Chains A and B, each alone.
Chain A
Amino acid sequence: MALLLTLAFSVLVALVFVLFGAPAFSQHSETFMAAVNFSLLAITPAILTLKPTFSAWRRALLSAEQKSVPEKWAAGFFWCTVVATWASAYFIPMDWDRPWQRWPLPIVGGAFLGNLISLLFVLIRCFIIPVARADFEESENEKRRMIRELQNEERQTRPVTRSMAKKDL
């Protein structure tokens, strides 16, 4: 199902490629294969994780609001791949006359590179940071609990210096 959706998206992506300057009347299969490649790398993660509604996609991919972990995951893959693919198009007009400069090789490479970066990015953003934050929050909670206990103890023994104890914290 996700693959079929990806294929459907590839058609749209290919159209966007043409809008950005891909040849319109030739090399259709090349453009389409580049679009499939791009969709697999950039859009499939979103298909797998997001609810199939316009607003959910919009919120996850375009808004600047606070996001959940799956949304971050989808947006990470999407944006890193998009930006790298976009930037790699700059290699096409260079006059180096290298075989890999032929359409659509630069943007295929760019998509892969962007995806590699996004893996790292997503790993940090969706796994390392939440785990670290959970760890941190747990230890904070522990600290708070201990402080509370300490305070209770103090209140029972020396209620006069309560304000001082608070200050120390």
Chain B
Amino acid sequence: MGAEHARIHGGRRFAWALALLLAVELLGMGLFARGFFPYKKSAGGFAMPADQPEDIGGSNRTQPEAQYDRLVLMVIDALRNDFIFGNESQMTYTQQLLRIGQARGFTARAQAPTVTMPRLKALMTGTVPGFLDAVLNIAEGDTSSSLQHQDSLLWQLREHGGKRINMFGDDTWLRLFPGLFANADGTSSFFVADTVEVDNNVTRHVQAEIAQGEWDVTVLHYLGLDHIGHLAGPRSALMGPKQREMDGVVKDIHEIVMAQDRDRMAAKDGARPTLMVVLGDHAMNELGNHGGNSQLETSTAFVFIGNNVNAQPLGDNSNALTSLLTDEVAQSNLAPTLALLLGVPIPKESLGVPLPQLLQSVPLPQRMHMLQTAAAQIYAVVRANEPAALPVSIAEVRDHPHAYVAADCHDQLLIGARLQCLYMAALAQHSLATNDDAERAYYAFMNAASTHLSQALDGYGLELMGAGIALLTVATLGLLWLCQQNGAPVVHIKARQLAVSVPAVVMWASQLLAEQSTSLVEEEHQLWYFWVQTLLALRAATSAGASGMLRSLMQMAVFRLIRAWNQTGQKWAGEPDIRGMLNAPSATPLLWTLAIAVALLVNFSCWALHRHFRRPSGWSRAFRVLLAAACTCALAYHMQRAQTQSGIGAARGVYVLTALLVVAGCAVGSGAKTPASAVALDVLVGFMPLLLLLTRPHNHTLFALFAAIFALFFSNPSQPSNKSSIGHPLRPSRALVLQALAHASFFALGNSNSLASVDLSNAYAGVSQYSEAMVGILVFISTWAGPLWWAMAGAAALMLNAGPSRSNLLLRVRALVVGAHLWQALMLLSLSCVATAMRSHLFVWSVFSPRYLYQIAWFAGFYLACGTIIGFIWLAAIMRFQLHSSFTPAMHV
């Protein structure tokens, strides 16, 4: 008794030690993230007309002449190249312009992260924005990522072009360019459910502002197409009409602008026409999501419309249009191209290369001057990054051109010197003769420089990363020590004997190793599925009786069904799956039948639970009524959403009812004769409506399957606790299987380690006004719905499994918590080290950065906030309520 008493009192010291170590870990993670995600401070400064090089070709100008006076930039969010160039495209007017040579189209290659804000930055500055912009894209209140202090095309147009700039559409532009627009009307991009109003809000300005208003540059940003993608994917029935609508807008603007150009050019000599650009900021994958690095997500479109774009008429041949699907240019090329065409300096830090196809119509001497300007700008960036690139004197090159023309640049070992050599060769060629050779020489230099720079630019804070890794190491070692004090990672507790579980160690070690491989990070779900089946198979093999074996095999069968539900990852993401089957138009009745069946099942199991524990109180009845109402609301929400209504009322109903359920649950739970396990199961059931609300209907059935697996753990009442589990050294504990299931369920609901799979459409249920905290929490619950379910189930399992001794239970909780945190700390540490080691590779951005963000959420959101803090409060509450009652053994669920 004395020893037991002492152990309970050791709890306070344990809690302090754990809190301290977790704080250190959190700090280490924060420091590392601060250094790793380059929150790029730009070198600062803006390109000035005075800095532009004089024309080596002989004219006295420093700024090449403008080819266009006005610009219409029409951004269609998530416009994939085949939405315009593909055979199924409904944008017939735009296609007709391309066919008759009034427009020139390209496939524009975007870079990860394919979300709006970093893409707009790339388009407007010509740079490669950092990964953190992807996160700030969601954190809408953030203003520190604005382009106020960074050179951009729009700033140049206003300051040096003297243009009046208007903007209508996505308010991301307003955050990027505060105070820059003469006239603006922003729409919030986060009501993904709305596909109509967001666009009408933009289109109403076409007549008012473009036709009648005063402007030089108009930016329009349409969001509806992106929202349709998020809601129903690129093959949605709404997609065709939306494309026709966008096409109609293109037609209206084109006609207005052409008429205005005729008037302007007749009225004023020397006036130049208007250029119109239709483009996408990013594209979408076959599920309608984006954020990652896949071919589909990065294939967006540029269409330049204007009199002088000098396009070859494509003709009526249908192959001609689809050939544009492979005519690729980089997105960052837009900024220098438009700057040259509109006669303003190129943004200072641009890495883009002007598109040669659009400069074709410019007379040769001027064109060469443009190329010289562009080359000088990009050479300035080269010099800022490569010490081996020395200042180049134009006078020197002009005086001795032959010395440089003949130089063999590939002999230079240093990339900086090689680029300098190429640059000088181009200048020399230009000073000798303005001809195609010089043009080729300029492009040879600019392409080499642009390729090199976009790969080499990194802004890591290595000191911060080092400090973060050091702190993480300290935290990991501390947790290891705490583990030694409080039981090994995942332990079998039998009296006072602690033993490390072999499957647990092998599983976590293999997951740690897998983090080092890019493909295994992308396919992490495969590993978890494989491990869940392995653990269940081991349980089947080592179970004492035939019934135990049969139950494990049944769990494996159910899990096989779960893994077929959502295909995710990269390699097999497009394979057929059950989600696809259920979302097919013909399967709609089945989808809703299943969803209703799950809701009924939730209510039935609640009724059965209350019956089993004999609690026929008024509160118990209230609990069941509330549960039924909440489930109904959740279903109503999804049905309204299916008919493209907002469903705000129904969603709020679920929130209110869930709050009431918590109250009723507390009242039921504090009843004298309620065992702790019943309270834990009430928690699981009571939060079901919320989880159903925040996940898509096709995933609802998964919760029933989870419940089936869970119930099979406890379906043998004659065998109270895990009596047989101690016997075999290879037998995985139930806690370990539950943890593996939690991780596997994350992927089973369709998530992956790519940002593309974050499903934003669930995150705005019942939200009518954007609130960062609210939406953040909803995104978290919606994405981690599976793991959260298993966390609650695990808590219930703990209670169902607990013997009469309170101190044993506390010891077990302690061992589980510290074990889980040890593995998370190891995971975080190993990911930090990999990310540091791989920091100069391109796939750091496509693979390890998103993985790190997910790991942050796993640690800080799931294990720390939900698992440890909320779990602690929950346990304390149960302990308080249940001081007197004894725990019941296993039962039917």
Which A residues fall within an 8 A CB radius of B?
A: 16, 18-21, 24, 62, 64, 86, 89-90, 92-96
Take A19-B533, A21-B530, A62-B728 as given contacts and tell me if A93 and B520 are in contact as well, using a CB distance cutoff of 8 Å.
Answer: yes
In the complex, the answer to whether A64 meets B729 with C-beta atoms within 8 Å is yes
Query: 9 interchain pairs (CB within 8 A)?
Result: A19-B533, A19-B557, A20-B534, A21-B530, A21-B533, A62-B542, A90-B514, A92-B526, A96-B519
Option from A19, A62, A89, A93 in Cβ contact (under 8 Å) with B571: A93
Interface range on chain B (Cβ under 8 Å from partner):
20 to 34
Nearest 8 A-B pairs (CB), nearest first? Answer: A95-B519, A93-B523, A19-B556, A93-B526, A94-B519, A20-B533, A19-B560, A62-B541
**Chain B neighbourhood of A18, CB < 8 A:** 560
Closest B-chain residue to A18, C-beta based?
A: B560
Option from A20, A62, A64, A96 in Cβ contact (under 8 Å) with B530: A20
The residue in A62, A86, A89, A95 that gathers the most chain B C-beta atoms within 10 A of its C-beta is A95
CB distance from A116 to the nearest CB of B (A): 22
Take A62-B541, A64-B728, A86-B534 as given contacts and tell me if A21 and B519 are in contact as well, using a CB distance cutoff of 8 Å.
Answer: no
**Chain A neighbourhood of B520, CB < 8 A:** 90, 93-94
**Chain B neighbourhood of A92, CB < 8 A:** 526
CB distance from A89 to the nearest CB of B (A): 7
**Chain B neighbourhood of A89, CB < 8 A:** 530
**Chain B neighbourhood of A21, CB < 8 A:** 526, 529-530, 533, 560, 563
A96 vs B571: C-alpha distance when bound (angstroms):
11
**Chain A neighbourhood of B537, CB < 8 A:** 16, 19-20
Closest A-chain residue to B569, C-beta based?
A: A93
A94 vs B572: C-alpha distance when bound (angstroms):
12
Take A21-B533, A62-B541 as given contacts and tell me if A93 and B564 are in contact as well, using a CB distance cutoff of 8 Å.
Answer: no
A18 vs B542: C-alpha distance when bound (angstroms):
21
Given contacts A19-B537, A19-B560, A95-B571, 12 further A-B pairs with CB under 8 A are A18-B560, A19-B533, A21-B530, A24-B560, A64-B729, A86-B534, A89-B530, A90-B527, A93-B526, A94-B517, A94-B519, A94-B520
**Chain B neighbourhood of A96, CB < 8 A:** 519
Is B226 in contact with chain A by the CB < 8 A criterion? no
A50 vs B527: C-alpha distance when bound (angstroms):
34
Is B759 in contact with chain A by the CB < 8 A criterion? no
A16 vs B517: C-alpha distance when bound (angstroms):
27
A89 vs B520: C-alpha distance when bound (angstroms):
12
**Chain B neighbourhood of A24, CB < 8 A:** 560, 564
Closest B-chain residue to A20, C-beta based?
A: B533
The contact string, 1 if C-beta is below 8 Å from chain A, for chain B 529-552, is: 110011001000110000000000
A135 vs B662: C-alpha distance when bound (angstroms):
74
CB distance from B545 to the nearest CB of A (A): 11
The contact string, 1 if C-beta is below 8 Å from chain A, for chain B 171-188, is: 000000000000000000
A93 vs B529: C-alpha distance when bound (angstroms):
12
A86 vs B531: C-alpha distance when bound (angstroms):
10
**Chain B neighbourhood of A95, CB < 8 A:** 518-519, 522, 570-571
A86 vs B527: C-alpha distance when bound (angstroms):
12
CB distance from B7 to the nearest CB of A (A): 31
A64 vs B564: C-alpha distance when bound (angstroms):
36
A86 vs B557: C-alpha distance when bound (angstroms):
18
Closest B-chain residue to A89, C-beta based?
A: B530
A24 vs B564: C-alpha distance when bound (angstroms):
9
A131 vs B276: C-alpha distance when bound (angstroms):
89
The residue in A18, A64, A86, A93 that gathers the most chain B C-beta atoms within 10 A of its C-beta is A93
A92 vs B520: C-alpha distance when bound (angstroms):
10
A93 vs B752: C-alpha distance when bound (angstroms):
14
CB distance from B87 to the nearest CB of A (A): 29
Take A16-B537, A21-B533 as given contacts and tell me if A93 and B542 are in contact as well, using a CB distance cutoff of 8 Å.
Answer: no
A21 vs B810: C-alpha distance when bound (angstroms):
38
Closest B-chain residue to A94, C-beta based?
A: B519
CB distance from A67 to the nearest CB of B (A): 15
A24 vs B526: C-alpha distance when bound (angstroms):
15
A21 vs B562: C-alpha distance when bound (angstroms):
11
CB distance from A21 to the nearest CB of B (A): 6
**Chain A neighbourhood of B729, CB < 8 A:** 64
Closest B-chain residue to A95, C-beta based?
A: B519
A92 vs B527: C-alpha distance when bound (angstroms):
11
Closest A-chain residue to B523, C-beta based?
A: A93
**Chain A neighbourhood of B541, CB < 8 A:** 62
The contact string, 1 if C-beta is below 8 Å from chain A, for chain B 496-523, is: 0000000000000000001001111011
A92 vs B571: C-alpha distance when bound (angstroms):
10
The contact string, 1 if C-beta is below 8 Å from chain A, for chain B 571-600, is: 100000000000000000000000000000
**Chain B neighbourhood of A20, CB < 8 A:** 530, 533-534, 537
